[in-house]
Amino acid sequence: MVTTCLVGCSGSPRSTTEPMTDLLDCQKAGITDLEPFRTLEVGHGIAEICAVAGRPVEDIGSGIHIYRYSVLGGDVRIGVVNDAVLYVDHVAPTGTRRLCGESLPDEN
């Protein structure tokens, strides 16, 4: 009989000296207010995102992390590459607005 165990299945707590590499490991509850997301900047790391926004609802990315937060009036999506913010978008029923990162093509 072969038993397979994924990393973290032992239930051991994360080392406080080990850097967080996935926002889904963030212990702070995710926020629902849009305003704090406006303080994030390109290059901010995972720990800074966790401190500002908490744990996301899910990671919807493929190839890069795209962390989704459910906020009043829509979603916030944070694109993360190499553990750093690439962009922050507010996705509402009326359209998508980039809060930080390079402008979206229709925002110029």
pLDDT tens, residue by residue, 7-37: 333 333 444 445 667 899 999 999 999 999 9
Q: Smallest Cα–Cα separation from 74: which of 87, 99, 93, 61?
A: 93
Neighbours of 85 (CB within 10 A): 21
CB 33 within 8 A of CB 71: yes
* Confidence (pLDDT) at 8: 34
pTM attached to this predicted model: 0.79
Residues of the chain with pLDDT under 50: 1-17, 108
Domain boundary assignment for the chain: 23-102
Q: How far apart are CA 59 and CA 63, in angstroms?
A: 11
In CATH terms, the fold of domain 23-102 is Beta-lactamase Inhibitory Protein; Chain:B, domain 1 (3.30.1450)
pLDDT at 36: 97
